[in-house]
Amino acid sequence: MSWFGDSHKLKMPIPAEALPGREGAMPVPDQHAVNGAPLRPPYPAGTEIAEFGLGCFWGAEKLFWQTPGVVSTAVGYSGGYTPNPTYEEVCTGRTGHIETVRVIFDPKRVSYGELLKLFWEDHDPTQGMRQGGDHGTQYRSAILTHGEAQQREAEASREAFQASLKAVGRGIITTEIHPAPEFYFAEAYHQQYLKKVPNGYCPNHSTGVTLPADFFKSETAAQRAADAAAAIQKAR
């Protein structure tokens, strides 16, 4: 999927350099191609939203739609400047967006901590503006949070995973963690792409390192989140 090899793609553009985009939102199907769930809001009562960037969004979306407790998924673009960008525009490196997976999940069936575990273990979060051979700002690692609880738990999970990486001599995490900006849906053909093209591009950049097995248990995650929040507050 890395169609443009220019070195400027490895540097975030400033707003003045960004492409202008457009007012109209990208048309997407009403229903998920795998399970028939809604792609756009409103989502089923009791569900929550999580959003992640972990490289090429085709394989990342499949990872989450296969997870029990995940109700719906969609792919799109987040964290840039250009409104309603196209895929080709994102690939130029002049929109600043991340290829993002939106995950609609039932917290009674799968916890946010379990989704974080999948996120960390399915890509290499130390690579900056790339994943493997895919180079560019769109491939940077990111957790885009919905609410303070997600923010705290995501930060705690980063500390836990960094310790696991350090134990095996791997590098420093470059993952962005911040409140979710506007999510722009990607084109219809990208939605559930690997359902439509089963043998499509789906690289594996996982490190083999795991988040501690007990992290996603609610009481452990809550304590880690509280500890992380306390550490952040102390550092201010």
Tell me the catalytic residues.
Answer: 56
Q: Which residue shows structure tokens 């995501």? A: 154
- Residue 129 phi/psi, 5-degree rounding, is -85, 45
Contact 84, 22 (CB under 8 A): yes
Contact 216, 114 (CB under 8 A): yes
| Integer Cα distance of 202 and 64 in angstroms | 14
Contact 225, 126 (CB under 8 A): no
- Residue 84 phi/psi, 5-degree rounding, is 50, 55
Partners of 105 in the β-ladder:
48, 70
Q: What angle do CA 124, 84, 119 make, to 5 degrees?
A: 20
